[in-house]
Amino acid sequence: MDANKRQRYEKISIELTKLVGGKENIQGVAHCATRLRIVLKDNDQADLKAIENVDLAKGVFVAGDQVQIIFGAGLVNDVYEVFAEHNNMKNMSLSDLKTVANKKMNPLQRIVKALSDVFVDIMPGILAAALLTGLSGVFGNLEFVKSNDTLYGINTLINISSGAVFGFLPLAVAYSACKRFGGRPILGIVIGCIMLSDSLTNAYSAAQGTAEVTTLHIFGMGVDLVGFQGGIIVALLMGFVTAKLDGFFEKKVPEVVRLLVSPLLTTLVGALLLFTVIGPVGRGLSSGITNGLVWMTQNLGVIGYAIFSGLQQLVVITGLHHIFGAIEAQLLADTGRNFLNPLMSVAIIAQGGAVLGYLLLHRKNVKTRELCIPSFISVLFGITEPALFGINLRYRFPIIGGCIGGALGGIIVYLTNLAAVGFGTTVVPGIALADPANNGYMNYVAAHGVAIAGGFLMTLILGRFMDKTPEEAISVNTAGSPASSRAPEAQDSMPQPQEAPAEEAFYGYANGQLIAMEDVKDDTFANKVLGDGVAVIPSEGKVFAPADGTVTSVFDTKHAICFASRYGTEILIHIGVDTANLHGKHFTAHVKDGDAVKKGQLLISFDKPQIEKAGYDTTIPMIFTDLPEGKSLKKSAPGTMDSNTKAVVVCK
């Protein structure tokens, strides 16, 4: 990682740790594609409003008892690496974090999250199949493809590839569900194979009456030997049941025969339940969901479409939108057309239009541009969280404008009878999934054009009446005082700073040669990216407290320490350049977070010769990361430094 970036992320990590209530309030941390996810013991200690203004953060929200901070794809990986290292949670996986978070969820939240996890695991395959389906549809309508043997052959292979994935989707779902609920994934695959066995009558042929169905009689019940092609709901249920059966038999079967008997019993009992209980129940649920959606299109008409597309992004805020994947898959399996996909797509692009509207209203504000432009780009690829939580929901009126735009787009979807032939992707890449029948591609573009224009214009109109004190709401606050940004409960547990005098002195924190910050051989420090201060070229491997105060944070790598004086002035002492790469080797901390220390007390010792031998500069900057407004630094001239020498005086 670039040194300048790392220093910036270290400052973000320090600030975030304070704003979520300190290290002691953090239970777990992980990240997904765009968000840093933190599970806290007490969410009330987190100052969400202050977190919104943290450097590089595009938004923050609480979902499923996780504080989720949006940084964006790619960036979140680097921020996580430094933040997790700072809080000693580097090896925690997203599944570990979910386990911690699940303990705090209610039953409905757990069910929804579990459904989400099942489809997240197999989504790459679904996306590949969906895009291949779209490509096949596009190429199949081109005359030069039909007339060219090679192109026709390639398109045929594309069609086979996409159809194979969707044809075996129940198997993939059974595998992923079994894995998600704690069973051995191979047993989920076995059950999926049974569901799609050639020994069973094809479900589609049976439904059309073109194939004969064999009926068995088990315990007096008639069991039809019909396959479960398209049985997504059945596969979900069977994945769950198989996982629980596997766990049960693994515990009950004696160890001496467990390897043979446990999977045998799991598969046998699972197969019996599939054909006698789970299959019929799952088919009933599937039929009910599909019939309900079809009823909506036939009886509510344009109003039903407008309501769905207008409110769909509000469902995203709750996290319940993850269940749509199963519904879309079932809808495709039962009807061959997915009208939900374009409805969700126009709902997404309308929120992008709202972002553009807000950007136009505040085009002169740098922070607004930093938030809006990347958020809109994410929307183009179907990712709305940065837009929703970073701008639209945060300032309220854009979310309303976006919902209205989504409803308008839904009307066009209804009037043009637009649908998709797959699912899993939306907006720009989603055009490949549009059903080409009746000018489907043109209708797709038209519906999205209306939606984005509606979101844009409605946000501008609503902004004239509802956009109150926007410049205050989007002001940049990259530091945040712990006394003002913490929740009241957190403030009570921290020492309260005393009223600062006109001048506050910080003494030599290391023996050696004092130099100007500009002379440090690192651009981050020399350019004062983290703040102004001074630096010392040390003559020995010891760092001392420069004043009376409190240790607010010791990095897990022990190469840096955060300190607050008794008057609340915050500093960061950073031992060496790029020394985080040593991962704590050659460093020893003599204090811990929260320790009260006296001027001259030993904070950290380090093996200076060994660090220099490893190729690292051991210069030690002392940075004032959050200098109070109206105060300035009076720095001592370069020269010899010890614990009795004033290094910096903070002046009013």
User: What end-to-end distance do the CA atoms of the chain give, in Å?
Assistant: 38
Round to whole Å and give the CA distance between 125 and 164. 11
Q: In which element (H, E) is residue 208 found?
A: helix 203-208
CA 369 from chain centre, in angstroms, equals 22
Residues 6+ away with beta carbon under 8 Å from 125: 165, 172
Which of these, 604, 611, 531, 597, lies nearest to 566 by C-alpha position?
A: 597
Collect all residues with Cβ–Cβ distance below 8 Å to 262 and sequence separation of at least 6.
246, 249, 250, 253
Find the catalytic residue in 217, 574, 583, 590. Answer: 574
Are β-strands 503-507 and 646-651 bridged in parallel, bridged antiparallel, or unpaired?
antiparallel
Per the CB < 8 A criterion, the answer to whether 589 and 31 are in contact is: no
Closest alpha carbon to 519 in 505, 531, 536? 536
AA letter at 64: G
Of these residues, 31, 32, 372, 559, which one is catalytic? 32
Q: Give CA–CA dist 327/171, Å, rounded.
A: 16
Residue count of the chain: 652
What single DSSP character describes residue 581? G
Other beta carbons within 10 angstroms of residue 2's beta carbon come to 11
User: What proportions of the chain, in percent to the nearest 5, are helix, strand and coil?
Assistant: 55, 15, 30
Answer whether 141's CB lies under 8 Å from 202's CB: no
Q: How far is CA 87 from the centre of its chain?
A: 19
What span, in angstroms and rounded, lies between the C-alpha atoms of 594 and 603?
12
CB 328 within 8 A of CB 173: no
Rg (CA), the chain: 30
- Which residue from 642, 501, 643, 477 is spatially nearest to 569, judged by alpha carbons? 501
- Coil, helix or strand for 464? helix
Neighbours of 378 (CB within 10 A): 23
448 catalytically annotated: no
* Distance separating alpha carbons of residues 467 and 459, to the nearest angstrom: 10
632 alpha-carbon distance from chain centroid = 39
The CA–CA distances, whole Å, from 423 to 177, 331, 393, 490, 635 equal 19, 10, 26, 46, 62
DSSP state of 637: P
32 as an active site residue: the answer is yes
Q: Are 515 and 622 in contact (CB under 8 A)?
A: no
211 vs 232: CA distance, rounded Å: 22
Task: Tell me if 393 sits within 8 A of 317, measured CB to CB.
Answer: yes
List CB contacts of 634: < 8 A, sequence separation 6 or more.
Answer: 503, 648, 649, 650, 651
Q: List residues with catalytic annotation.
A: 32, 574
